[in-house]
Amino acid sequence: MRLPIHLQREIARLHFYDLKQSSRAISRVVGVSTNSIIALRTLLTTRDIPQNLFDLDDDAWTAALGNEDRGVAQRKQAPDWNWVYEQMQRPDATLEALWQEWRAICPEGIGYSQFTENFRKWTRQQHIVFRKVHVPGEKLFVDFAGTTVTVRSRDGGPSIEAQIFVAVLGYSNYIFMHAVPSQTVPHWLECHDACFANLGGVPKWVVTDNLKAAVIRRAEGQVTLNPSYRACLTHFGTAALPTGARKPKEKAKAEVGVQIVQRLVLFRIRDFDFFSVAELNAELKRRTKIVNARLFKKMSGSRLQRFEETERAALQPLPEAPFEMSDWRYGVRVGDDYHVEHERNFYSTPYELRGERVDLRITASQLEIMSRGRRVALHSLADGEGSVKTFPEHRPIAHTRVLEGEPKALLLWADTVGPNTQKMLQHHLQDRSDLTNGLRAARRMRDMARIHGETRFEEVCAYALPLNITALRSIESILKKSPDKGVNKTVPAALRPSHDNLRGAGYFGGAA
């Protein structure tokens, strides 16, 4: 199978997440052809799959699934389409599940693609319109409202147009609102985090529009989710269902929810003055309670009542660990020095990975390096630029032996130069926590001593250490500008020549 392993993992996750969903639905989520989905799902259902499938690395994964390309031949016999239509009215019914049941009885029947195509042709001939039946806890529809709210600055600075995130549960029509400064990925993920916390649980599916924070590419019906968004939904144990382009019926709940929010909330606060997004969210929270408590006109109860009585219990529980926003970089090449570069800092990997491609997951505080589905390194993010973070166990044995002997050799050299040079190198080689950068600094200082002379370097160290100057640039600047060599050019009084024009103390005391 030619699908990348990370896509195979996502397809398998969605397959086991809901065995009743159609392969076409999974195809729309991961951006892979339906036939490829069917082929992989066939492997997942027919092979002896280990229980720890998702813990396997890429090689073990390939061995577990194999590489068979099991195309399914088309057949000619067709089912009773009235039976198919009746079964499709039941909750959780999918065409794929019905096709599999029917093929078990009629193995010579038509293939899945012909099955779905012919059924759609039949429904068009019957002029049948399907009515959506929403199951409690199944779907959450999300979108941004078209109307924004101005948030002003108290000190006269520029104002911002806050974006209003709207989420609607399919069964109860329960509404959630949240304001953020923009529609960028971090704010999009913040909205989902806040929404799930408000609901106290997680729906089975999140039906989303095709904004850039959710979908990075859609071509010929194939959808590629934003990796950060996919990671967020995976953390919460749910999955996305992007709506079709120019298909408003697929997101009707979100459209109606946005319309309600714009008419019942945003219009009524159009003349309010808000000076922070937090202040705006407090007002939205208050008005959301009012909207959810309003009684329905065409059915009994309210959004809040249907949510509390039925849908809240149907939601999946929240994960124990809080969500931490992250960014992904795929296919980053490991250098020959077995380090990867991120924002001009360098992080080590096991030396065996030099020259290979790895994936980076970056959070606010850590950088995780993944190779073939396995985590191979976890570093704390470096501050600034130019840092090198290396774990000793990532080095080959030869490098380790060199590094173990080099600090000792440098300190022995410093001892021959002088006590101040010894203290300076000791600071970089023993007092610092990062040996790699310390070695670089010590080597550079040895080069400076060779260029400017060891005696001169010892003088500079004697001048710099009492002033707590240890940085390479500062030492190099002292060597070039020689601020330590300033001398007092005032002529001593004892050396001034004696002559008749000198005035004694009596002159200044008033004596004639």
The residue with tokens 């009084």 is 493
* Rounded CA separation 95/122 (Å): 14
pLDDT band at 1 (very low <50, low <70, confident <90, very high): low
pLDDT at 461: 94
Q: Is the pLDDT of residue 69 over 60?
A: no
3-class secondary structure, 301: coil
CATH number attached to the domain at 139-314: 3.30.420.10
The residue with tokens 């971090």 is 186
DSSP character at residue 135? P
Q: Is the pLDDT of residue 406 over 80?
A: no
If we measure between CA atoms, which residue out of 257, 296, 17 comes closest to residue 138?
Answer: 17
Per-residue CA distances from 509 to 181, 498, 499, 504, 506 (Å): 78, 21, 21, 9, 5
**pLDDT tens, 228-264?**
898 899 999 999 988 866 555 556 776 788 888 888 8
Point out which residues pair with 179 in neighbouring strands. Answer: 164
Q: Is the pLDDT of residue 167 over 90?
A: yes
Per-residue CA distances from 181 to 159, 176, 186, 212, 281 (Å): 10, 17, 10, 16, 11
* Rounded CA separation 224/114 (Å): 26
pLDDT at 42: 86
Strand bridging mode 215-219 / 222-225: antiparallel
In the chain, ranges of CATH 3.30.420.10 domains: 139-314
The tokens for 454 are 């060891």
> Residue 201's Cα: distance from chain center in Å?
22
The tokens for 354 are 């030099």
Measured over the CA atoms of residue 210, residue 215, residue 216 and residue 221, the dihedral's sign is negative
Q: Is the pLDDT of residue 141 over 60?
A: yes
The residue with tokens 């239509």 is 85
* Rounded CA separation 54/8 (Å): 11
* Rounded CA separation 54/33 (Å): 22
DSSP character at residue 374? E
pLDDT band at 339 (very low <50, low <70, confident <90, very high): very high
pTM over 0.85: no
Interior CA angle at 469 toward 464 and 475, to 5°? 70
* Rounded CA separation 208/244 (Å): 10
Interior CA angle at 181 toward 176 and 186, to 5°? 80
pLDDT at 340: 94
Q: Is the pLDDT of residue 137 over 80?
A: yes
* Rounded CA separation 65/419 (Å): 66
**pLDDT tens, 451-480?**
999 999 999 999 999 999 988 889 999 999
Answer for the pair 20, 94: CB distance below 8 angstroms, yes or no.
yes
* Least confident piece of the model among 37-46, 99-108, 387-396, 425-434: 425-434
pLDDT at 85: 78
CB burial of residue 291 (10 Å; 0-12, 13-18, 19+):
buried
Phi, psi at 231, each rounded to 5°: -65, -40
CB burial of residue 315 (10 Å; 0-12, 13-18, 19+):
buried
In percent, how much of the chain has pLDDT > 90?
34
